[in-house]
Amino acid sequence: RAALTNAFGSARRQRFLKERERHADHRVAVSDATVITKAMHGQKRLKQEASEADNLESGTADERTRLLPPFNPDVSYPQDVYPFEKLIPSRILEALAAESETLATAPVSSYDTWSRQGTYPKCVLDRLLQLSSLSNSNKPEKASENRMKIAQCLAYLSHMLALFRLPGYDIQRKQPLPDTPPTVTKHLLDEFTALVNRGESGRLKIRTMSPLLRDRLIYHMLALILHCDNFKTVIDDLTIDFQMSSDVLKRYFVYMGCHVNKEDMKLGTDVTTRQRASLKTPVKFPVPSLNKIRKQTILG
């Protein structure tokens, strides 16, 4: 039909046909350009999501390094994930040597006295009671070594909990931890608090514990507790001393690479369900999804 119009049609019909063909060519070109643009946009989006995933993984790793004690997830034994020698510096062990010896050798009757006087928090006293079972081991030398190690963890933990419980105004005092050896106090303040400027001049500085530093302190304390509990900790027993619910504490343990399971435990004649956190190797740290991060970013 187009050929007949070109050969015999009027000039007007020929112009109309050429105009229609030009519009058709334009539509094809636009359609092709749209397909190409969508393809390029798709590739760009894929690259962007891949970059976001890499940045997320890197950012999560950096955050975990800032918050957690020194760790190695690729080890064969749970005790090597958060190595004991990196949890408590040697100078702190020396400063707490006398207290650790007292805890390791104290009779059970002392625990009752310490409980009545409020000398040690509940989670420390609970674990001191477990020390008595270590003396019945068939390998007394190994039992003595484990007993001292747990006592060292508990001595250090008690001073960390003292810092954790301090109100903000007490942290600003010249001696915020009067019952803690000076070496230990300095270490705790350097690790888990910060000096910030107060006022425009910047001459006055006050000591504070930011939410991030508070979380860092919590993770270090939980690592000590895992060592005391042979890396299987009942979360519900920590709620009083950590002043938070078991569900909130659970998130801390999961972030550390622990598995959390519910178990039925018998307490006297009653059976209750408790949450137990276990550190198993090799450790796989949870990585939040991109969608979850985007949602938090939008809402937050």
State which amino acid sits at residue 193: T
Q: How far apart are CA 134 and CA 87, in angstroms?
A: 22
pLDDT value, residue 53? 42
- 8 A C-beta contact, residue 125 and residue 69: no
Nearest CA to 192 out of 203, 208, 168 is that of 208
Which residue carries 């005391």 as its tokens? 228
Q: How many residues would you count in the chain? A: 300
pLDDT value, residue 277? 98
pLDDT value, residue 296? 41
DSSP conformational letter for 282: S
**Cis amide leading into 176 (omega within 30):** no
What tokens were used for 270? 């009653």
Residue 216, H or E segment? helix 211-228
pLDDT value, residue 137? 55
Q: How far apart are CA 128 and CA 103, in angstroms?
A: 7
Residue 265, H or E segment? strand 259-267
The series of mean pLDDT values per 10 residues for the chain, 300 residues long, is 49 60 56 49 48 49 89 95 97 98 92 93 93 64 83 98 94 94 97 87 84 97 97 96 96 97 84 94 79 40
Q: How far apart are CA 262 and CA 246, in angstroms?
A: 12
Rounded-to-10 torsion of CA 131, 135, 141, 143: -40
Q: How far is CA 46 from CA 32, 52, 155, 287, in A?
A: 21, 10, 52, 19
Residue 144, H or E segment? helix 140-165
pLDDT value, residue 18? 63
- 8 A C-beta contact, residue 67 and residue 78: no
What tokens were used for 48? 């962007």
Pairing of strands 204-208, 194-198: antiparallel
State which amino acid sits at residue 150: I
- Domain extents in the chain: 2-62, 68-299
Q: How far apart are CA 281 and CA 76, in angstroms?
A: 6
pLDDT value, residue 33? 52
pLDDT value, residue 247? 96
- 8 A C-beta contact, residue 210 and residue 194: yes
